[in-house]
Amino acid sequence: MEDCIFCKIVKGEAPANKVWEDDEVLAFWDIRPSAPVHILIIPKKHLENVSAASNEDQALLGKIQLIAVEVAKKLNITDGFKVFTLNGSKAGQVVFHLHYHLQGGWKEKND
Ligand code: AMP
Ligand code: ZN
């Protein structure tokens, strides 16, 4: 996808502050964090959102959740974190390359 900002990050054509990378998955800091720790975890493969995934993506989607836990450990937020994805513009999705938000680092409950 030529105009996809996250595909550009995957290809090294746009900058990102990476915290995890393997052959299938990339995680990097959100450019406009809405939590003390705010990471985006994406498949390198372009999928618009989770609705665009199919059975062949089952292992990839599971792997992303396990990577979220690994990144949470790495960033010391295992005491409380959220992993979520927005599906469609009505839900607030702005970037149409599947991404999971990993948020944490609050001092007390969600403040
Ligand atoms: P969503 O509403 O789930 O589509 O959220 C898109 C997220 O991507 C927002 O939290 C943005 O701050 C973030 N974002 C957009 N462009 C970039 C970028 N180039 N690098 C890092 N994060 C980005
Ligand atoms: Zn993309």
What's the CATH number where 88 sits? Answer: 3.30.428.10
Confidence at residue 111, expressed as pLDDT on a 0 to 100 scale: 56
Ligand with an atom nearest the CA of residue 45 = 2
Mean pLDDT score across all residues of the chain? 96
Exposed/middle/buried for 48, CB within 10 Å: 0-12, 13-18, 19+? middle
39 located within any domain: yes
Confidence at residue 110, expressed as pLDDT on a 0 to 100 scale: 57
71 located within any domain: no
Exposed/middle/buried for 86, CB within 10 Å: 0-12, 13-18, 19+? middle
64 located within any domain: no
Question: In the chain, what is the straight-line distance between the N-terminal and C-terminal CA atoms, in Å?
Answer: 37
What's the 32 CA to ligand 1 centre distance in angstroms? 7
Tell me how far apart the alpha carbons of residues 73 and 49 are, in angstroms, rounded to a whole number. 26
31 located within any domain: yes
73 located within any domain: no
Tell me how far apart the alpha carbons of residues 101 and 99 are, in angstroms, rounded to a whole number. 6
Domain limits for position 14: 5-58+78-104
Number of domains, the chain? 1
What's the 39 CA to ligand 1 centre distance in angstroms? 9
Tell me the per-residue pLDDT of 47-94, one tens digit each, with 9 for 90 and over: 999 999 999 999 999 999 999 999 999 999 999 999 999 999 999 999
pTM above 0.85, yes or no: yes
Pocket test for ligand 1, best of 30, 82, 85, 97 (most atoms within 8 A of CB): 30
